[in-house]
Structure 1
Amino acid sequence: MVPRGSSSAATLADMTEAVLTYRAASTAAIGAVEIDLLLSASSPDPSLFFDGFLLHAEQAAVALLQLAKVARTRFYLPPSMVAARIAAADPVVTASADRLRFESFSLCCGVAARFDALSGGLDRPPASNGTTNVDLNPPVRDLLADVRGDEPLHLAVGTNVTVTTMTASVVEHRVPLSTRWVRGFAEAQASSAALARRFTVPAGQARRFVRGLPATSGSRSVLYVIQGRDGLRLTATSQAGSVPLGGANRLRTIEPLLGYADSLTVYGPATPGSGVSSWQVDLPDGRFVLTLSPNSMRGFSGEGGLLFDLADDQAADDALVLSTLLDFTPVIDPTRIARLAGLDVGRIRPALAHLAAAGRVGYDAAEGAYFTRALPWDRTLLETMHPRLADARALVHQGAVTVSGDRATVTSAGNVYVLRRSGDSWICSCPWHGQHGGSRGPCKHVLAVSLLASDLEGRDGRR
């Protein structure tokens, strides 16, 4: 990890526990009529990519405070883990075209939060595109907590970082971003892309529902949310159109924002099997989105939802092409980018999955589209971030995999695992597959068989 105050910039490829280091930290200043928050740019270009006002100041301040709260919170602590081992990370902000996006993850990586300040909430569009970190340390949080009504809230994105009030000045140092967050970005994107809108309720109904949720984790069982005549309610069993809600207390994070909201839009799995849900607070000229993992004990960083795409070498090559064409558009049009890249449109989604695995691509369920953020990307680093994929490639390299029709065997650590094909999938005899099935991505044996089968098909195609 790069020490705070280091003079050199680092990319994800530079270290074992990879981090993203920004070139300066953040600043906030309060005067008689306005509060300034200066954000540090990851680009070497020192020019500002946003220098303007957030027009819904109090609403924006509350959203940023909740985003920071998520980044400081561990909703689940395994009995063997010491809470202080992982320090809180700072949220990430991306300026693109007509909006600012702020994103963060909880310490347990099971809650993803995003605040979108849309065009109507900015007094001007960003001057240019870029991604940075946002320091929301105590002095800045104190400033935001004092914002009331329509007080001007000014944001400038640049390189110098000083927090200044009428009586004090605080300098924030650059903050590293660990690969754990990058993996979280990737898996949250994959989960969000598989969600569908279930229902939208007025803000008043949403407030009553959220206030009735438990304040602590309580039971580990998953509850379900349905829409009744008088609003949302919980049920213990899944029903048609219901939305899973594991770790219901985590949803209380959105409660402070519901007083500013027009409505609450809820997204649930488009197909059975996933326990992920997304809760979108619809604000004037903005959105605050909370995406929850299936339960408090599961984080997004280890789900493995992108492993099949990452095992696709053709998609990796396509991603190299796409990486030069991403232009910070808040909505990626697959047809347009396929035309620019000279690729078939069907090859775009797997290529985007590779970029998502490096944190370069996110997914906005409200617009049903991918968006970009500027984090460093190193293709060679991806497999070190996904040990199951690295192990699968090693098994193929060792000759430990045999495939014969609809059956396969994998020899690993002295054990022989038998796999059989079921439709387009493989079922493995290993304990991992027995416990999780396909709900947490493929086991390394299924990945190894898929890699070998793909390699054999490629050889046949070249004959």
Structure 2
Amino acid sequence: MASSTAAAGAAQSYTYTRPSGLDGGLLGLSTSGGTTSGGPRAHPHFFSGVLTRPAPAAAALLGLADVARTRYFQPRPTAFRDPVVTCSGDRLRLESFSACGGVYARLDVLEAAMDGEVHDRGTTNVDVNGPLREALARVGGSDPLHLAVGADELAVTTMDGAVVEKKVPLPDRWLRGFAEVQVITAGFDPRGELAAADAVRFLRSMPRAPRGALWAVPAGRTLRLTSRPSPGAVCLAGPERLRTMLPLLRFATALRVYGPPAGAQSGPMSSVWELELPGMRYVLTLSPGHGRGFSGEGAVLDALSTDEAAADADLIGALLSFEPRVEPDLLAERSGLTPARTKAALTQLGTSGRVGFDTAEAAYFHRELPYDPARVADLNPRLRAARALVEAGAVRLTSGDTAVVLSNEQERRVRFMEGHATCTCPWWYDHRGERGPCKHVLAAGIVRREPGAAAAGAEAAR
């Protein structure tokens, strides 16, 4: 796969040996370039066998494709953005992101729903096109659906030589969203579970028109929507963003909801909504606002700002091998790092697309997104600005927990206390840390961790 990565308007180019299609009971998903356990491959072949639950699998794949081509704050279809597929041996994970960057979708096809041969492990893109989408909408019944994710080299050489090339705009916020989601959801806990019948009633009763943030509060066997947060509540910002779950309700066995701790004064938050299907999980992660993407949440900035985490990430990354679950304790033992440094390294790996997070199993998983990891830091303007402040010698520590940062000829005062930081700048006043640290807090944090950085910056400034 070739890619063009020029700033905010980057486009991703995909090359497939043929279009994906559904023909005679065979669902053939064509692969573009990707990473396997044996290294890079132009057209990896991961799986061939059957989907034992064809109707829910087809409906969930259709939902995944619909998320990828939707801009929720401007409800109109956009170009297809091909899903990312990871084969981890006992499961297939298919991931996509909405065009607006505010909804992350994942379909986990687990061992109970697939029967066949795993040819390799790794990550790639798969082609999704209009005819395939129409064919998926017609799948029904209980007959097994044959599935091939990629084709072996012999099959490729016997094709007619036709090559499918697609160039799709992938804004930088798309990549940044992938990084933010895994960091944000790693701190979530289960907040509610509804049985099938209760899940159907709840999801079908949601308001259809776009509204502000609502809150789902556990109430007996169901969830009750309110306009005010409360302890134990889960934010539901833009309930219409769950609509791709509605066609799946006839297959659902449960609905689970995950979120961070909430209180009576909480502002809008992200949330995870997981629909359990026979042998599968269809997961939607929603940003804190209907028109708000994940790329601006800033959850990864602290991790990106440390050189130590970057070095540790190289070590931990070398130990990954497309496991369905990444075990931090085992990685810490094998690497010799402390659990805290191992966790920071996993966060760093997430920012480059090398790990995701599964709230159902409360575990990281290994995958390799087809993007250049070196781009990630450049995609965060606050981090770039913070490093520029440090290099300009604009940070002065006044004590162990306070700093003054000169920015745009104004002094901003930063204070660190009990794991949190405050700043006197307008950004902090507007967001109070809910969208990650401001550039002043990041710059002060860099100098606190690396005292030599301030001296080097001041010398450079002179």
| TM-score, scaled to structure 2 | 0.87
The answer as to 2:324 corresponding to 1:330 is: yes
* Stretch deviating more after TM superposition (326-335 or 228-237): 228-237
- Contact 1:53–1:155 at 8 Å: present in 2 too? yes
The answer as to 2:215 corresponding to 1:224 is: yes
Aligned position for 2:158:
none
- Contact 1:112–1:291 at 8 Å: present in 2 too? yes
The answer as to 2:137 corresponding to 1:142 is: no
Structure 1 segments unaligned to the other structure (5+ residues): 1-8, 162-169
* Stretch deviating more after TM superposition (102-111 or 409-418): 409-418
Q: What SS is found at the alignment partner of 1:450? A: helix
- Of residues 294, 309, 313 in structure 1, which corresponds to 2:303? 309
Cα separation, 2, equivalents of 1:100 and 1:441: 32
- Contact 1:401–1:411 at 8 Å: present in 2 too? yes
- Contact 1:98–1:125 at 8 Å: present in 2 too? no
* Partner AA of 2:58 in structure 1: A
The answer as to 2:177 corresponding to 1:184 is: yes
- Of residues 251, 256, 259 in structure 2, which corresponds to 1:260? 251
- Contact 2:389–2:395 at 8 Å: present in 1 too? yes
Q: 1:225 to 1:457 in 2, by over 3 A?
A: farther
Q: What SS is found at the alignment partner of 2:191? A: strand
- Contact 2:69–2:99 at 8 Å: present in 1 too? yes
Aligned position for 1:375:
369
Q: What SS is found at the alignment partner of 1:27? A: coil
Cα separation, 2, equivalents of 1:180 and 1:150: 40
- Contact 1:24–1:160 at 8 Å: present in 2 too? no
Q: What SS is found at the alignment partner of 2:276? A: strand
Q: What SS is found at the alignment partner of 1:288? A: strand
Aligned position for 2:314:
320
- Of residues 31, 43, 61 in structure 1, which corresponds to 2:58? 61
Matches within 5 A, 1:355-434: 355-376=349-370, 378=372, 380-405=374-399, 406-434=401-429
- Of residues 277, 287, 292 in structure 2, which corresponds to 1:283? 277
* Partner AA of 2:65 in structure 1: A
* Stretch deviating more after TM superposition (148-157 or 208-217): 148-157
Identity %: 43
Aligned position for 1:198:
191
Cα separation, 2, equivalents of 1:36 and 1:261: 25
Q: 1:29 to 1:11 in 2, by over 3 A?
A: closer
After superposition, the C-alpha distances for 1:146-196 in whole angstroms (9 at most, x for unaligned) are: 1111233233233699xxxxxxxx964245555432211111111111111
Q: What SS is found at the alignment partner of 1:417? A: strand
Cα separation, 2, equivalents of 1:395 and 1:371: 35
| TM-score, scaled to structure 1 | 0.87
Cα separation, 1, equivalents of 2:274 and 2:386: 37
Q: What SS is found at the alignment partner of 1:241? A: coil
Cα separation, 2, equivalents of 1:445 and 1:459: 13
Aligned position for 1:91:
83
* Stretch deviating more after TM superposition (407-416 or 181-190): 407-416
* Partner AA of 1:359 in structure 2: G
Q: 1:30 to 1:137 in 2, by over 3 A?
A: closer
RMSD: 2.7
* Partner AA of 1:303 in structure 2: E
- Of residues 427, 433, 451 in structure 1, which corresponds to 2:446? 451
* Stretch deviating more after TM superposition (428-437 or 449-458): 449-458
Q: 1:25 to 1:268 in 2, by over 3 A?
A: farther
How many residue pairs are counted as aligned between the two chains?
A: 437
- Contact 1:400–1:410 at 8 Å: present in 2 too? yes
Aligned position for 1:122:
114
* Stretch deviating more after TM superposition (322-331 or 394-403): 322-331
Q: 1:228 to 1:353 in 2, by over 3 A?
A: same
Q: 1:377 to 1:109 in 2, by over 3 A?
A: closer
Q: What SS is found at the alignment partner of 2:71? A: coil
Residue 384 of structure 1, CA deviation: 0.6
Cα separation, 2, equivalents of 1:435 and 1:111: 24
- Contact 2:54–2:144 at 8 Å: present in 1 too? yes
Structure 2 segments unaligned to the other structure (5+ residues): 35-39, 154-161, 456-462
Residue 62 of structure 1, CA deviation: 0.3
Residue 98 of structure 1, CA deviation: 0.6
Cα separation, 1, equivalents of 2:451 and 2:352: 28
Q: 1:286 to 1:403 in 2, by over 3 A?
A: same
Cα separation, 2, equivalents of 1:65 and 1:26: 20
Cα separation, 2, equivalents of 1:359 and 1:61: 26
Q: 1:410 to 1:364 in 2, by over 3 A?
A: same
Q: 1:360 to 1:26 in 2, by over 3 A?
A: farther
* Stretch deviating more after TM superposition (444-453 or 185-194): 185-194
- Contact 2:31–2:43 at 8 Å: present in 1 too? no
Residue 453 of structure 1, CA deviation: 0.8
Residue 230 of structure 1, CA deviation: 5.2
